[in-house]
Copies of this chain bind each other. A is one copy, B any other.
Protein backbone atom coordinates (compact mmCIF):
# COMPACT_ATOMS: atom_id res chain seq x y z
CA UNK A 1 0.00 0.00 0.00
CA UNK A 2 1.27 3.51 -0.76
CA UNK A 3 2.14 5.90 2.06
CA UNK A 4 -0.31 8.32 0.42
CA UNK A 5 -3.19 5.88 0.87
CA UNK A 6 -2.08 5.17 4.44
CA UNK A 7 -2.01 8.90 5.24
CA UNK A 8 -5.39 9.49 3.57
CA UNK A 9 -6.85 6.95 6.01
CA UNK A 10 -5.29 8.71 9.01
CA UNK A 11 -7.29 11.89 8.41
CA UNK A 12 -10.22 11.35 10.80
CA UNK A 13 -7.72 10.88 13.65
CA UNK A 14 -5.61 13.87 12.70
CA UNK A 15 -8.68 16.11 12.42
CA UNK A 16 -10.02 14.96 15.78
CA UNK A 17 -6.61 15.64 17.35
CA UNK A 18 -6.54 19.20 15.99
CA UNK A 19 -9.97 19.88 17.47
CA UNK A 20 -8.84 18.56 20.80
CA UNK A 21 -5.43 20.17 20.99
CA UNK A 22 -5.69 23.52 19.19
CA UNK A 23 -9.22 24.79 19.86
CA UNK A 24 -8.48 26.38 23.22
CA UNK A 25 -5.32 28.04 21.99
CA UNK A 26 -7.04 29.43 18.89
CA UNK A 27 -9.90 30.82 20.99
CA UNK A 28 -7.34 32.77 23.02
CA UNK A 29 -5.77 33.94 19.77
CA UNK A 30 -9.23 35.20 18.76
CA UNK A 31 -9.28 37.39 21.89
CA UNK A 32 -5.88 38.83 21.06
CA UNK A 33 -6.93 39.56 17.49
CA UNK A 34 -10.17 41.23 18.49
CA UNK A 35 -8.19 43.64 20.68
CA UNK A 36 -6.02 44.55 17.70
CA UNK A 37 -9.12 45.27 15.54
CA UNK A 38 -7.99 43.33 12.49
CA UNK A 39 -9.22 44.92 9.24
CA UNK A 40 -7.47 42.70 6.70
CA UNK A 41 -6.37 39.06 6.61
CA UNK A 42 -3.55 38.04 4.26
CA UNK A 43 -2.92 34.34 3.58
CA UNK A 44 0.44 33.22 2.23
CA UNK A 45 1.22 29.74 0.95
CA UNK A 46 2.26 27.61 -2.02
CA UNK A 47 1.19 24.29 -3.52
CA UNK A 48 -1.35 22.26 -1.54
CA UNK A 49 -1.11 24.71 1.35
CA UNK A 50 -2.17 27.45 -1.05
CA UNK A 51 -5.22 25.36 -1.99
CA UNK A 52 -6.12 25.10 1.70
CA UNK A 53 -5.68 28.88 1.87
CA UNK A 54 -8.14 29.28 -1.03
CA UNK A 55 -10.70 27.52 1.15
CA UNK A 56 -9.67 29.61 4.15
CA UNK A 57 -10.23 32.75 2.14
CA UNK A 58 -13.91 31.99 1.49
CA UNK A 59 -14.52 30.69 5.00
CA UNK A 60 -12.96 33.69 6.72
CA UNK A 61 -14.57 36.34 4.51
CA UNK A 62 -18.02 34.78 4.87
CA UNK A 63 -17.69 34.15 8.61
CA UNK A 64 -15.97 37.35 9.69
CA UNK A 65 -16.71 40.02 7.04
CA UNK A 66 -13.01 40.91 7.11
CA UNK A 67 -11.57 41.16 3.59
CA UNK A 68 -9.00 38.45 2.80
CA UNK A 69 -6.13 38.64 0.32
CA UNK A 70 -4.04 35.74 -0.95
CA UNK A 71 -0.51 37.14 -0.92
CA UNK A 72 1.77 37.22 -3.93
CA UNK A 73 5.06 36.28 -2.19
CA UNK A 74 7.32 37.84 -4.82
CA UNK A 75 5.91 41.30 -4.04
CA UNK A 76 7.76 40.99 -0.71
CA UNK A 77 10.68 38.68 -1.55
CA UNK A 78 11.76 39.81 -5.02
CA UNK A 79 10.24 43.25 -5.59
CA UNK A 80 10.99 44.31 -2.00
CA UNK A 81 7.71 46.21 -1.55
CA UNK A 82 6.83 47.44 1.94
CA UNK A 83 3.08 47.05 2.37
CA UNK A 84 0.98 48.94 4.89
CA UNK A 85 -0.05 46.11 7.16
CA UNK A 86 -1.09 47.73 10.42
CA UNK A 87 -4.33 46.08 11.59
CA UNK A 88 -3.56 43.13 9.32
CA UNK A 89 -3.40 39.47 10.30
CA UNK A 90 -0.96 37.57 8.07
CA UNK A 91 -1.31 33.78 8.11
CA UNK A 92 1.41 31.58 6.61
CA UNK A 93 0.51 28.01 5.69
CA UNK A 94 3.19 25.36 5.09
CA UNK A 95 3.27 21.63 5.73
CA UNK A 96 6.99 21.59 6.46
CA UNK A 97 7.27 25.10 7.85
CA UNK A 98 10.43 25.43 5.77
CA UNK A 99 9.09 27.26 2.70
CA UNK A 100 11.72 29.96 2.53
CA UNK A 101 9.61 32.47 0.61
CA UNK A 102 6.62 31.99 2.91
CA UNK A 103 8.76 32.53 6.00
CA UNK A 104 10.37 35.62 4.46
CA UNK A 105 6.93 37.08 3.79
CA UNK A 106 5.91 36.42 7.41
CA UNK A 107 9.02 38.15 8.74
CA UNK A 108 8.61 41.11 6.36
CA UNK A 109 4.90 41.42 7.16
CA UNK A 110 5.64 41.53 10.88
CA UNK A 111 8.15 44.31 10.23
CA UNK A 112 5.38 46.14 8.35
CA UNK A 113 3.12 46.03 11.41
CA UNK A 114 1.14 42.82 10.87
CA UNK A 115 0.29 40.23 13.50
CA UNK A 116 1.55 36.90 12.15
CA UNK A 117 0.35 33.33 12.53
CA UNK A 118 1.86 30.16 11.03
CA UNK A 119 -0.05 26.95 10.32
CA UNK A 120 2.32 23.98 10.02
CA UNK A 121 2.75 20.30 10.80
CA UNK A 122 6.30 20.69 12.09
CA UNK A 123 6.66 22.00 15.64
CA UNK A 124 10.41 22.46 15.25
CA UNK A 125 10.29 24.31 11.91
CA UNK A 126 11.59 27.76 10.99
CA UNK A 127 7.99 28.93 10.56
CA UNK A 128 7.24 28.28 14.22
CA UNK A 129 10.04 30.59 15.29
CA UNK A 130 9.19 33.25 12.67
CA UNK A 131 5.62 34.07 13.76
CA UNK A 132 3.77 35.63 16.69
CA UNK A 133 1.61 32.52 17.13
CA UNK A 134 2.19 29.09 15.56
CA UNK A 135 -0.74 26.70 15.08
CA UNK A 136 0.00 23.01 14.73
CA UNK A 137 -1.65 20.28 12.67
CA UNK A 138 -0.62 17.37 14.94
CA UNK A 139 -0.53 15.07 11.90
CA UNK A 140 2.69 13.22 12.74
CA UNK A 141 5.32 13.32 9.99
CA UNK A 142 3.82 13.29 6.46
CA UNK A 143 5.95 10.81 4.51
CA UNK A 144 4.33 10.82 1.08
CA UNK A 145 5.43 13.70 -1.17
CA UNK A 146 1.73 14.17 -2.05
CA UNK A 147 0.17 16.13 0.84
CA UNK A 148 -3.15 14.78 2.13
CA UNK A 149 -3.54 14.81 5.92
CA UNK A 150 -1.69 18.10 6.25
CA UNK A 151 -4.01 19.65 3.62
CA UNK A 152 -7.21 18.75 5.47
CA UNK A 153 -5.51 19.60 8.76
CA UNK A 154 -4.82 23.11 7.48
CA UNK A 155 -8.47 23.41 6.47
CA UNK A 156 -9.56 22.38 9.97
CA UNK A 157 -7.38 25.09 11.47
CA UNK A 158 -9.25 27.61 9.29
CA UNK A 159 -12.55 26.48 10.84
CA UNK A 160 -11.05 27.09 14.26
CA UNK A 161 -9.78 30.51 13.20
CA UNK A 162 -13.19 31.45 11.74
CA UNK A 163 -14.86 30.37 14.97
CA UNK A 164 -12.36 32.27 17.10
CA UNK A 165 -12.78 35.47 15.08
CA UNK A 166 -16.54 35.38 14.54
CA UNK A 167 -17.98 33.17 17.26
CA UNK A 168 -20.14 30.20 16.30
CA UNK A 169 -22.04 31.05 13.11
CA UNK A 170 -23.83 29.24 10.29
CA UNK A 171 -20.41 28.87 8.72
CA UNK A 172 -18.74 26.85 11.48
CA UNK A 173 -21.84 25.32 13.14
CA UNK A 174 -21.32 21.60 13.71
CA UNK A 175 -17.78 21.34 12.38
CA UNK A 176 -16.96 18.93 15.21
CA UNK A 177 -18.67 16.32 13.03
CA UNK A 178 -16.15 16.67 10.19
CA UNK A 179 -13.85 13.83 11.41
CA UNK A 180 -16.85 11.48 11.50
CA UNK A 181 -17.97 12.58 8.00
CA UNK A 182 -14.44 11.84 6.80
CA UNK A 183 -14.44 8.37 8.34
CA UNK A 184 -17.71 7.60 6.57
CA UNK A 185 -16.39 8.90 3.25
CA UNK A 186 -13.31 6.69 3.54
CA UNK A 187 -15.65 3.71 3.27
CA UNK A 188 -15.94 4.51 -0.47
CA UNK A 189 -12.38 3.32 -1.11
CA UNK A 190 -13.31 0.09 -2.90
CA UNK A 191 -15.85 1.84 -5.15
CA UNK A 192 -13.33 4.55 -6.01
CA UNK A 193 -10.70 1.94 -6.86
CA UNK A 194 -13.13 0.49 -9.38
CA UNK A 195 -13.98 3.95 -10.73
CA UNK A 196 -10.29 4.89 -11.12
CA UNK A 197 -9.72 1.85 -13.34
CA UNK A 198 -11.83 3.47 -16.07
CA UNK A 199 -9.44 6.47 -16.23
CA UNK A 200 -6.19 4.51 -16.49
CA UNK A 201 -5.41 6.04 -19.88
CA UNK A 202 -6.73 9.53 -19.15
CA UNK A 203 -4.13 12.16 -20.12
CA UNK A 204 -6.06 15.43 -19.68
CA UNK A 205 -8.95 16.55 -17.58
CA UNK A 206 -10.56 19.55 -15.95
CA UNK A 207 -11.53 19.78 -12.26
CA UNK A 208 -14.20 22.28 -11.24
CA UNK A 209 -15.49 23.61 -7.94
CA UNK A 210 -16.64 26.97 -6.73
CA UNK A 211 -16.84 29.00 -3.54
CA UNK A 212 -15.92 26.87 -0.54
CA UNK A 213 -15.08 24.01 -2.93
CA UNK A 214 -12.83 26.10 -5.18
CA UNK A 215 -9.74 25.04 -3.23
CA UNK A 216 -10.81 21.40 -3.63
CA UNK A 217 -10.78 21.74 -7.43
CA UNK A 218 -7.24 23.14 -7.25
CA UNK A 219 -6.15 20.44 -4.84
CA UNK A 220 -7.49 17.48 -6.82
CA UNK A 221 -5.99 18.90 -10.03
CA UNK A 222 -2.62 19.24 -8.27
CA UNK A 223 -2.82 15.68 -6.96
CA UNK A 224 -3.58 14.39 -10.47
CA UNK A 225 -0.64 16.35 -11.88
CA UNK A 226 1.89 15.25 -9.29
CA UNK A 227 0.90 11.63 -8.70
CA UNK A 228 -0.67 10.62 -12.06
CA UNK A 229 1.07 13.03 -14.49
CA UNK A 230 -2.36 13.95 -15.86
CA UNK A 231 -2.57 17.45 -17.36
CA UNK A 232 -5.37 18.55 -15.05
CA UNK A 233 -6.80 22.04 -15.40
CA UNK A 234 -8.66 23.69 -12.53
CA UNK A 235 -11.28 26.43 -12.56
CA UNK A 236 -14.27 27.75 -10.73
CA UNK A 237 -17.44 26.68 -12.53
CA UNK A 238 -18.09 30.39 -13.24
CA UNK A 239 -14.65 31.08 -14.74
CA UNK A 240 -14.96 27.92 -16.81
CA UNK A 241 -17.67 29.58 -18.91
CA UNK A 242 -15.29 32.47 -19.67
CA UNK A 243 -13.18 30.68 -22.27
CA UNK A 244 -11.99 27.26 -21.12
CA UNK A 245 -15.32 25.60 -21.97
CA UNK A 246 -14.16 25.75 -25.62
CA UNK A 247 -11.66 22.91 -24.88
CA UNK A 248 -14.42 20.43 -24.14
CA UNK A 249 -15.29 17.89 -26.79
CA UNK A 250 -16.83 14.42 -26.82
CA UNK A 251 -15.40 12.24 -23.99
CA UNK A 252 -13.35 15.08 -22.46
CA UNK A 253 -13.19 14.26 -18.72
CA UNK A 254 -14.55 16.88 -16.31
CA UNK A 255 -14.62 16.27 -12.54
CA UNK A 256 -17.12 18.34 -10.55
CA UNK A 257 -17.34 19.07 -6.82
CA UNK A 258 -20.93 19.93 -5.90
CA UNK A 259 -22.16 20.11 -2.32
CA UNK A 260 -25.67 21.21 -1.39
CA UNK A 261 -26.14 24.97 -1.16
CA UNK A 262 -25.68 28.21 -3.06
CA UNK A 263 -23.43 26.78 -5.79
CA UNK A 264 -25.59 23.82 -6.77
CA UNK A 265 -27.84 25.51 -9.38
CA UNK A 266 -24.78 26.79 -11.27
CA UNK A 267 -23.17 23.35 -11.29
CA UNK A 268 -26.41 21.85 -12.64
CA UNK A 269 -26.53 24.38 -15.49
CA UNK A 270 -22.94 23.49 -16.32
CA UNK A 271 -23.56 19.74 -16.09
CA UNK A 272 -26.42 20.04 -18.58
CA UNK A 273 -24.16 21.98 -20.96
CA UNK A 274 -21.41 19.36 -20.60
CA UNK A 275 -23.91 16.61 -21.34
CA UNK A 276 -24.91 18.36 -24.60
CA UNK A 277 -21.20 18.48 -25.50
CA UNK A 278 -21.01 14.73 -24.65
CA UNK A 279 -18.21 15.30 -22.15
CA UNK A 280 -17.39 12.60 -19.59
CA UNK A 281 -18.44 13.96 -16.20
CA UNK A 282 -17.56 12.60 -12.76
CA UNK A 283 -19.42 14.31 -9.93
CA UNK A 284 -18.81 14.23 -6.18
CA UNK A 285 -22.22 15.13 -4.73
CA UNK A 286 -25.15 14.15 -2.55
CA UNK A 287 -27.65 15.58 -5.05
CA UNK A 288 -29.55 12.85 -6.92
CA UNK A 289 -30.72 15.12 -9.73
CA UNK A 290 -27.18 16.25 -10.50
CA UNK A 291 -25.89 12.69 -10.26
CA UNK A 292 -28.43 11.65 -12.91
CA UNK A 293 -27.06 14.24 -15.38
CA UNK A 294 -23.44 13.08 -15.01
CA UNK A 295 -21.57 10.05 -16.41
CA UNK A 296 -20.27 8.82 -13.05
CA UNK A 297 -20.98 9.74 -9.44
CA UNK A 298 -19.25 9.48 -6.06
CA UNK A 299 -22.24 9.67 -3.72
CA UNK A 300 -21.77 11.72 -0.55
CA UNK A 301 -23.90 11.57 2.62
CA UNK A 302 -26.81 14.07 2.34
CA UNK A 303 -26.31 15.35 5.91
CA UNK A 304 -22.94 16.86 4.95
CA UNK A 305 -24.08 20.45 4.56
CA UNK A 306 -22.62 23.24 2.44
CA UNK A 307 -20.28 24.69 5.06
CA UNK A 308 -19.05 21.31 6.31
CA UNK A 309 -18.51 19.81 2.83
CA UNK A 310 -15.00 20.95 1.85
CA UNK A 311 -13.00 18.50 4.02
CA UNK A 312 -15.08 15.32 3.49
CA UNK A 313 -15.53 16.14 -0.23
CA UNK A 314 -11.78 16.20 -0.93
CA UNK A 315 -11.37 12.65 0.39
CA UNK A 316 -12.80 10.90 -2.70
CA UNK A 317 -10.50 13.14 -4.74
CA UNK A 318 -7.44 12.07 -2.74
CA UNK A 319 -8.45 8.40 -3.01
CA UNK A 320 -9.06 8.79 -6.73
CA UNK A 321 -5.58 10.27 -7.30
CA UNK A 322 -3.82 7.64 -5.16
CA UNK A 323 -5.70 4.75 -6.81
CA UNK A 324 -5.43 6.14 -10.34
CA UNK A 325 -1.65 6.39 -9.84
CA UNK A 326 -1.72 2.71 -8.87
CA UNK A 327 -3.85 1.82 -11.91
CA UNK A 328 -1.32 3.66 -14.09
CA UNK A 329 1.55 1.74 -12.50
CA UNK A 330 3.00 4.83 -10.82
CA UNK A 331 4.22 5.35 -7.25
CA UNK A 332 2.28 8.31 -5.80
CA UNK A 333 4.75 8.69 -2.92
CA UNK A 334 7.74 9.62 -5.04
CA UNK A 335 6.60 11.65 -8.06
CA UNK A 336 9.33 12.15 -10.62
CA UNK A 337 11.20 15.48 -10.37
CA UNK A 338 9.80 16.42 -6.92
CA UNK A 339 11.00 16.47 -3.33
CA UNK A 340 9.01 16.97 -0.12
CA UNK A 341 10.34 20.40 0.79
CA UNK A 342 10.40 22.82 -2.15
CA UNK A 343 12.67 25.82 -1.86
CA UNK A 344 11.77 28.83 -4.00
CA UNK A 345 12.15 32.52 -3.36
Whether the Cβ atoms of A231 and B229 lie closer than 8 Å is: no
- Whether A263 contacts B222 by the Cβ 8 Å rule is no
A73 at interface, CB cutoff 8 A:
yes
- Are A79 and B39 in touch, CB under 8 angstroms? no
In whole angstroms, what is the CA distance A236 to B342 when docked?
Answer: 14
Among B46, B50, B81, B204, contact of A61 (Cβ-Cβ < 8 Å): B81
State whether A83 and B69 are in contact (beta carbons under 8 Å apart), knowing that A74-B263, A204-B204, A222-B243 are contacts in the complex.
no
Q: Residue A82 at the B interface, CB < 8 A?
A: yes
Residues of B within 8 A of A292 (CB): none
Separation of A84 and B229 alpha carbons in the complex (Å): 42
Whether A42 pairs with B67 at a CB distance below 8 angstroms is: yes
Give CA–CA (A345, B226) in the complex, Å.
32
> Which residues in B have their C-beta under 8 angstroms from that of A338?
243, 245-246
Within 8 A of B (CB), among A238-264: 238-239, 241-249, 262-263
Residues of chain B lying within 8 A (CB to CB) of residue A273: 337
Do B83 and A66 touch across chains, with their CB atoms under 8 A apart? yes
Q: Does A9 contact B (CB under 8 A)?
A: no
| Residues of A67-99 contacting chain B, CB below 8 A | 67-70, 72-75, 78-79, 81-85, 88
| A72-B214, A242-B342 known; A248+B204 contact, CB < 8 A | no
- In this complex, how many residues of chain A approach chain B with their Cβ under 8 Å: the count is 67
Task: Produce 1/0 per residue, A204-221, CB < 8 A to B.
Answer: 100000110010000000
> B84 touching A67 by the CB < 8 A rule?
yes
With A39-B84, A61-B83: A246-B225 Cβ-Cβ less than 8 Å? yes
Q: How far is the CB of A53 from chain B (nearest CB, A)?
A: 12
A40 in the interface (beta carbon within 8 A): yes
Does residue A65 face the partner (Cβ distance < 8 Å to B)? yes
Instruction: Decide yes or no whether A163 CB sits under 8 A from chain B.
Output: no
Within 8 A of B (CB), among A28-85: 39-40, 42, 46-48, 50, 57-58, 61-62, 65-70, 72-75, 78-79, 81-85
Say yes or no: A67 contacts B40, CB within 8 Å.
yes
Number of copies: 2
A74 in contact with B262 (CB, 8 Å): yes
Q: Counting CB contacts under 8 A, is A266 at the interface?
A: yes
A335 CB-CB contact with B under 8 Å: yes
A210 to B249, CA, bound (A): 31
Asked whether B266 lies within 8 Å of A345 as measured between CB atoms, the reply is: yes
Q: Which residues of A contact B (CB under 8 A)?
A: 39-40, 42, 46-48, 50, 57-58, 61-62, 65-70, 72-75, 78-79, 81-85, 88, 101, 203-204, 210-211, 214, 222, 225-227, 229-231, 233, 236, 238-239, 241-249, 262-263, 266, 273, 277, 335-338, 342, 344-345
Q: Can you show 11 pairs from A to B with CB atoms below 8 A apart?
A: A47-B243, A50-B242, A57-B72, A58-B72, A65-B83, A66-B84, A74-B262, A75-B211, A78-B263, A225-B244, A238-B344
